[in-house]
Amino acid sequence: MTSELPLGREVAYPRSYDPSLLFPIARDQGRAALGIASGALPFAGHDRWHAYELSWLGPRGKPDTATATFLVPADSPRLVESKSLKLYLNSLNSTRFTGRDEVRARIAADLSAAAGAAVTVGFGLPPLDMGTGLEGDGDGARAAATLPGTDPAPVSIDGIAVDCDEYDAPNPALLAADPGDLVHEVLHSALLKSNCPVTGQPDWASLRVAYRGPRIDRAGLLRYLVSFREHAGFHEQCVEQVFVDVSAHCRPTELSVEARYTRRGGLDINPWRATPGLSPPPAGRDPRQ
């Protein structure tokens, strides 16, 4: 019988609007382990969420649908756990609203209350960034076009021939840089994987490291990213760990780290952390998203 199979078990979803479903988590919990003191962040940034499954009822009971983008500032005291965000959004499915503006305002108010800072909500998604498809498979594989702004074209490090044997926890000792060779470059990898600390499910992401300073050893960076493979950490915390570890071991004068995680439960998240004062990268979505 299907009721006896683990995949056949019913999952209860809310039938009415319920903002209490949002589960906030204090960012200080993860940052303390990285040596980041509360109120003294070494980075600026945001968490950009993409919602693909958003629906509600109009005033006459007719369903409406949309996609949406949520922008949570990195200096908010709390992050919102992703499964709870999915459940919260599903609580809108059978709830009547006067129109799209009311829906947007309600979501913005509820997410802001959960995060402890103003969260921006807008309908629609950023464009699919086909320029993230990197050509070639070697150390110098490059994107077909340069990124908007001043950054050079990203270079994939995934084709580097390197032995990997560390998977259980991020190992910053694998990182190194040449202080005698100063560069400005963008390195890209699609091999970042970690595990959700709540569900144990795998989280997959592409990572971009844009920096100025001593040339980062690409093989070491690749091995470092692979060492996250069985690590249990929230998306936001993993990106912050990369920023802190690269800053400490490679000493860039400017650093920008963005991860684009693949979709789960109708949501994907794109944390970005950077040296204060740097502009955010152009909003976009990877083909895997």
* pLDDT at 15 exceeding the cut of 90: no
CB half-sphere exposure, 28, CA atoms < 13 A = 6
* pLDDT at 8 exceeding the cut of 80: no
Residues 6+ apart with CB under 8 A from 64: 55, 56, 57, 58, 100
Q: In what order do the strands lie in the sheet with 202-216?
A: 120-123, 63-73, 44-57, 267-274, 254-261, 202-216, 177-195, 154-156, 142-143, 134-135
- Residue 120, exposed/middle/buried by CB under 10 A (0-12, 13-18, 19+)? middle
Question: What is the token pair recorded at 74?
Answer: 């990195």
Read off the pLDDT of each residue in 171-181 and give the average, rounded to a whole number. Answer: 98
Residues 6+ apart with CB under 8 A from 167: 226, 227, 229, 230
* pLDDT at 41 exceeding the cut of 70: yes
* Pairwise CA distance, residues 171 & 193, whole Å: 14
* Residue among 151, 147, 142 at smallest CA distance from 255: 151
Are the CB atoms for 196 and 203 separated by under 8 Å?
Answer: yes
CA distances to 71, 133, 280 from 149, rounded to whole Å, are 21, 18, 10
% of residues, the chain, pLDDT over 90: 84
Is residue 196 part of the annotated active site? The answer reads: yes
pLDDT digits (tens, 9 = 90+) for 75-124: 999 999 999 999 999 999 999 999 999 999 999 999 999 999 999 999 99
Task: Assign 11 a pLDDT band (cuts: 50, 70, 90).
Answer: low
* Pairwise CA distance, residues 289 & 269, whole Å: 10
* Pairwise CA distance, residues 175 & 184, whole Å: 17
Per-residue pLDDT at 228: 98
Residues 6+ apart with CB under 8 A from 195: 201, 202, 203, 230, 231, 232, 233
* pLDDT at 133 exceeding the cut of 50: no
- Of the candidates 18, 158, 164, 196, the residue annotated as catalytic is 196
Mean pLDDT of the chain: 91
* Residue among 207, 218, 215 at smallest CA distance from 243: 207
Read off the pLDDT of each residue in 30-48 and give the average, rounded to a whole number. Answer: 94
**Phi, psi at residue 133, to the nearest 5°?**
-75, 110
Are the CB atoms for 51 and 70 separated by under 8 Å?
Answer: yes
Three-class DSSP labels, 109-142: HHHHHHHCCCCEEEECCCCECHHHCEECCCCCCE
Beta strand 78-80 with 24-26 is antiparallel
- Of the candidates 203, 217, 268, 286, the residue annotated as catalytic is 203
* Pairwise CA distance, residues 213 & 110, whole Å: 41
Task: Assign 9 a pLDDT band (cuts: 50, 70, 90).
Answer: low
* pLDDT at 25 exceeding the cut of 70: yes
- Residue 264, exposed/middle/buried by CB under 10 A (0-12, 13-18, 19+)? middle
* Pairwise CA distance, residues 92 & 121, whole Å: 15
* pLDDT at 148 exceeding the cut of 60: no
Per-residue pLDDT at 149: 53
